[in-house]
Amino acid sequence: MPVVKLQRPKLNFGESIYLLAVAKGFLITLTHAIKSLRGKSASAKSLASSGLGVTMQYPEHRWDEHLPEYYRGAPALVTDEQGRERCVSCQLCEFICPPKAIHITPGEIPSNDPWAKVEKRPAAFEIDMIRCIYCGMCEEVCPEQAIFLRKDYLITGLNRADMVHNKEKLLAIGGVRTGLVNKWNELK
């Protein structure tokens, strides 16, 4: 890589005094400020601006209808059409989770259960939402299509314990998903 020697641009008298340039700068800043004040900033519309700058005023205006299809919110467990949880606690999500937010305690399905064929389900499934970075690796790695990142983003709590989503909470967020999962099929 050859060294490129840069020449400073030659300034004429007006420029070398700077005052005009500074004044021009003020004018640019001011016009921008006025635009921002009138809610006419660039991309204010696409960002659903509140009318000042490009910012959305959070509790009054919400993201909900503006969320893109690919938005990654809170991870959640899903159930199938018949209310069975899909997760078999293979712990691959726990393994892949970069911030180690997921903690699973595997459990056995009792043999008198009608769906005992699957044998295994999580006895406890906890996601620490303080740790979660919403990367979606858990969804990608799940072999049973049991964990999905939903569009929920209002994850708040008053203490650390509140921020740990347990299995019931995860299933409540996740809801029902339909689709082909073979694990209950006796012959597949």
Partner 1 sequence: MSDSPSSATAALILPKDLAAETGRVNVQIDGIWRQFAKGTRMIEACRQAGTIVPHYCYHPKLSSPGSCRMCMVQMGLPARPAPGQEPQRDAAGYETISWVARPVIACANTVSENMGIRTHGDLVAQTREGVMEFLLINHPLDCPICDQAGECRLQEHSVGYGRSSSRFMEMKVKKPKNVEIGPRVRLDDERCILCGRCIRFMSEVVGEPVLGFTQRGTHTTLTAHPDRPLDSNYSLNTTDICPVGALTSNDFRFQMRVWFLKETPSIDVNCGTGTNIQLWTRGNKIYRITPRQNNEVNSCWMPDSHRLNFHSLDSVARFTEPLAKHGALHEPVSWEAAFLTAASKLKAQAPEKIAIIASARMTNEELFLTRALATALGTTNLSLVPRFSEPDALLVAADRNPNTTGAMLVLDTQDPFSKLDAIRAGVRSGAIKALIVLGEDLITDAGFCFEDLAPLEFLLQSHTLANPTALAAHLVLPTAAFAEKRGSMVNLSGRLQRLNRAIEPPGQCRDDWEILRDLTQAITGNTGHLDSIEEIFQALAETLPAFNELTLSKIGHLGIPVMDTGYQIPLLTTERARQAARLITG
Partner 2 sequence: MALIILIVKIIALTFLVVLPLVPISVYFERRFCAIIQDRVGPNRTGIPLTLLGFKKDFHFFGLIQPMADGVKLFLKEDFTPAYVRKVFFWLAPALTVAPALITVCVIPFGSSITLFGNTQQLVIANLDIGPLFVFAVSSLTVYGITLAGWSSNSKYPLIGAVRSSAQMISYEISLGLSIIPVLLYFGELNLGKIVQYQADHGWLLLPLWKNGQLGLPDLQTALFCIPAFVAFIIFTISIFAETNRMPFDLPECETELVGGYHTEYSSMKFAMFFMGEYAAMVIGSALIVTLFLGGWSVGFTADKWIQNFHFGEFYFGGLIHLLVFLLKLIVFILFFILVRWTVPRFRYDQLMKLGWVVFFEAALINVFLAALILAAPHLAPAILATGAVLLAVVTAALIWVAKVSEPKSGILQA
3-state secondary structure of 116: helix
Q: Is 105 in the site for partner 2 (CB under 8 A)?
A: no
Task: Tell me how far apart the terminal alpha carbons of the chain are, to the nearest angstrom.
Answer: 61
Please select the residue that binds partner 2; options are 5, 81, 110, 180, rule is CB under 8 A: 5
* Beta-ladder partners of 77: 147
> Is beta strand 75-77 parallel, antiparallel or unpaired with respect to 102-108?
unpaired
Q: Which one-letter amino acid corresponds to residue 145?
A: Q
3-state secondary structure of 128: strand
Instruction: Report what 15 binds from partner 1, partner 2, none; CB cut-off 5-8 Å by kind.
Output: none
Instruction: Report what 53 binds from partner 2, partner 1, none; CB cut-off 5-8 Å by kind.
Output: partner 2
Please select the residue that binds partner 1; options are 15, 64, 108, 140, rule is CB under 8 A: 108
- In the DSSP assignment, the letter for residue 104 is E
Q: Is 25 in the site for partner 2 (CB under 8 A)?
A: yes
Q: Is 124 in the site for partner 1 (CB under 8 A)?
A: no
Residues that bind partner 1 (CB under 8 A): 88-92, 94-95, 106-108, 111, 116-120, 143-144, 183, 186-188
